[in-house]
Chains A and B, each alone.
Chain A
Amino acid sequence: MTGDAADSVPPIGRAQTAKGGHFLETTGVSAPLCPSRTVRASEAGRMNVGVAHSEVNPNTRVMNSRGIWLAYIILVGLLHVVLLSIPFFSIPVVWTLTNVIHNLAMYIFLHTVKGTPFETPDQGKARLLTHWEQMDYGLQFTSSRKFLSISPIVLYLLASFYTKYDAAHFIINTASLLSVLLPKLPQFHGVRLFGINKY
C-alpha cells in the first residue's frame, strides 16, 4: 500500500493474490512462488483460483479486506478534491461539506441499510441488522470498527481547524459527528429508537 504500487507495474498474478490475501490464507494456494511472466499467462486460464470461501455472511468481513481502508481514505480524499474544485465554495464551506457528506454516507451505508443483498445460508439471521451490527458478527472494538469510529473524528478535527472554529460550522459539524458516533457505541447495538428502521 505504499507509493510503489502506483509507480511500478506489478505482475497481474501478484496483484490479484495480494488483493485476495485473506482468501489465500483459507485455501492455502501460494501463487507468489511462480515467476511473474508465467503467472500472467496461466492466471488467464485459472481465473477463479482462490476465490471460493465458506464465509456464511461475507458482509461481516468486507471491512477487513485487504486495501479497503486505503480505498476508503482515497474516496474521502476524492470527495474533498471534487468539492474543492467547485469554484464558489470557500475553504470552510468545503470542509464542512466534506464532513457532512461523509457522515451522511456513513450513516446511510453503515447504520440504515439492513440485511444483505445476497442470500445467506443461515436463513436470514442478519435480515434486521445494519452493516455496522453485522461487522465481525457483532464483535465489538475490532480493528475495522476502531478505524471507522476514528475516521469521522479525525475528519471533524480537520474540519474544525479549517473552519477557524466558527460557531455555525461548529453546530453543523458536531451534530453530524454525533449522528455517526452514537450508533457505533456497543450500548446501541441493535437499538432502534422510536421504532425507526426496525423492520
Chain B
Amino acid sequence: MAMAAEQWVLVEMVQALYEAPAYHLILEGILILWIIRLVFSKTYKLQERSDLTAKEKEELIEEWQPEPLVPPVSKNHPALNYNIVSGPPTHNIVVNGKECVNFASFNFLGLLENPRVKAAALASLKKYGVGTCGPRGFYGTFDVHLDLEERLATFMRTEEAIIYSYGFSTIASAIPAYSKRGDIVFVDSAACFAIQKGLQASRSDIKLFKHNDVADLERLLKEQEIEDQKNPRKARVTRRFIIVEGLYMNTGTICPLPELVKLKYKYKARIFLEESLSFGVLGEHGRGVTEHYGINIDDIDLISANMENALASVGGFCCGRSFVVDHQRLSGQGYCFSASLPPLLAAAAIEALNIMEENPGIFAVLKKKCQHIHKSLQGISGLRVVGEPLSPALHLQLEESTGSREKDVQLLQEIIVHCMNEGIALTQARYLDKEEKCLPPPSIRVVVTVEQTEEELEKAASTIREAAQAVLL
C-alpha cells in the first residue's frame, strides 16, 4: 500500500511537470542558464576607483628616479653635531666632558639618582635578570608588573591600570584601541607627536581645535551635533573622543579641564587625558591635572601617562575604570605585541611611587621653583617665555623670528652653546619637521627639577639673559 502510494505521488509529480504553466518553466530555464553562467564566470576584483590607465601607470614607473639613500645635508645639521653625555642625565650632567647643571632632562622629582630607587632596581636585577623575554600574554608577566599596576591604580584612585613598556607607544596604542574608522576625534592642535601617531594609526576622522580654545572646540562639537541630527542612524554608531594633554609638552600650558568635562557631558564625547608631564607634578599629591582642578577622576574616561618623566623609569601606563582599561589587554597593540617592561624598571617605578607617597611636600617645592624660574626668565630681551608658571618645562622662543626656521634654530643653538660654556645644560625642543601636523616654532626648553637649588636657578636665569644679549643683540 505504501509503495503504491509513493509511486502514485511520483506519477502525479511528473504529470504536473507536463502541465506546468509556461511562465514558470521559462523562469526555471532562465535560472538554469544563470547557474551555467555562474559556474563558468571568472573570479575578478571589483574595480577600485583608480584614475590612471595601465599606460599611465607604466609611464609613471618609467619616470620614477630613486632618491639617494642618504640625502645631502649641510655640515651644520644637528644630527651631525651632537653632544655626548657621559653618565646618567642627572642633576649634574657631563656634556662633552664638561660638568653642567642639568636644565634639559625631564627628571622633575630628581628620582633618577635617588639611592633608594637604584637599590630597588639593583635588587630586582639580581632577582629577575634584565629582560622579560616576552610580551605580557606570553610568559612576560611578572609579579612586579602586577604590583606596579595595582600601585598605580591605587595612587591615581582608579579601578585599574595597565603598563606599557615604552612611553611613546602608550598613548599611541591606547587611542587606536578605542577609536576606529568612522569615529571622530577632537584633538588639541598642540598635541604631542605620540598622540599624532596614535591618531594616524586609528584611521579615525580627526578634528583639530585651536590650542586650549574651548570656544573653538565647542564650535566643532556643535557642527558635529548638527551633522548628527541630520543623520541619526550614523550618529548612533559613531564614537566621539576628545583628546587633550594635562600639561602640554609643546607649549607648557595646562588644559582647561573643568570646561572640557562640561562639554563632554553636554555633547556626549569621551575624554582621553594624556598626563605625561603632569603626572607627579601637578596636584597636591602629584596625581595630575584632575587633582589640580579637583575634578572627580571618574569623569575622565582614560588617563594615559608615561613613567619616563617624573617617575624616572621607562614605559607608560593607562588608568581608568576596569571596563575601559581591560579592553587594552587584548586591543592595545603595544601591550600585546611588545616585550613587557623589564622588572628592574618596574621595581624602580614602585620605589619611586613609594617616595612620592611618603613625601608629598616635594610637589609644593617643585611648584615654587617653577614659579621662581618663570619670574626670573621674564623680560629677557629677544626671548619670550612660553608656558605657565606652574609648568616645570618652559619654552623660550625668539620674540621676533628671523623668517627662516633654520636661522632661528641656529640662533637658539648659539645661545645654548654659550650657556653650556657657563655650565648650564640646555636643549632645544626637537621635532620631526616634516611629520608634525602643527609644527611649533623653534624654542629652548628649560626644565625645572626639585634638585636644583635657588642659586642654580638664579645662575641659569642670568646665564640665559647674558647669552641672549650676546647672541641676539
Contact = CB atoms under 8 A, between A and B. Distances in A.
A174 interface: yes
A153 B31 contact: yes
Interface in B168-227: 176, 180-182, 201-204
Contact of B233 (A123, A165, A199): A199
Given A119-B330, A123-B202, A189 B46 contact: yes
B54 interface: no
B383 to A, nearest CB: 43
Contacts of A149: 38
A140 B31 contact: no
Interface string A118-131: 01010111011000
Contact of B46 (A121, A140, A146): A140
A107 interface: no
A109 interface: no
B27 A174 contact: yes
Contacts of B234: 198-199
A153 B330 contact: no
A127 B31 contact: no
Interface size class of B (residues with CB under 8 A): 35 or more
B39 interface: yes
A184 B405 CA distance: 58
Contacts of B236: 199
Interface in B316-349: 330-331, 333
B261 to A, nearest CB: 28
Contacts of A195: 233
Closest 6 CB pairs of A and B: A164-B16, A124-B180, A165-B20, A123-B203, A141-B41, A124-B181
Given A146-B38, A199-B233, 6 more contacts: A141-B43, A149-B38, A160-B24, A165-B19, A167-B21, A199-B237
A157 B42 CA distance: 25
Given A123-B202, A160-B24, A165-B24, A198 B233 contact: yes
Contacts of A121: 333
A15 interface: no
A81 interface: no
Contact of A186 (B19, B46, B201): B46
A156 interface: yes
B38 A127 contact: no
A127 B43 contact: no
A142 interface: yes
A142 B43 CA distance: 5
Contacts of B31: 153, 156-157
A123 B176 contact: yes
Interface of B: 9, 12-13, 16-17, 19-21, 24-25, 27-28, 31-32, 34-35, 38-39, 41-46, 176, 180-182, 201-204, 231, 233-234, 236-237, 330-331, 333
Nearest to A184: B38
B43 A139 contact: yes
A164 B41 contact: no
Interface in A137-159: 138-142, 146, 149-150, 153-154, 156-157
A186 B43 CA distance: 11
Interface size class of A (residues with CB under 8 A): 20 to 34
Contact of A146 (B27, B39, B204): B39
Contacts of A138: 45-46
Interface of A: 91, 119, 121, 123-125, 127-128, 138-142, 146, 149-150, 153-154, 156-157, 160-162, 164-165, 167, 170, 174, 186, 189, 195, 198-199
Contact of A140 (B12, B27, B44): B44
Contacts of B46: 138, 140, 186, 189
A170 B39 CA distance: 25
Contacts of A124: 180-182, 203
Nearest to B32: A157
Contacts of A128: 182
B326 to A, nearest CB: 13
A127 B203 CA distance: 13
Contacts of B38: 141, 146, 149-150
Nearest to B16: A164
Contact of B180 (A127, A139, A198): A127
Nearest to A121: B333
A164 B35 contact: no
6 contacts: A119-B330, A119-B331, A140-B43, A149-B38, A157-B32, A160-B28
B75 to A, nearest CB: 43
Contacts of A170: 21, 24
A61 to B, nearest CB: 15
Nearest to A153: B31
Contacts of B237: 127, 199
Nearest to B42: A141
B43 A153 contact: no
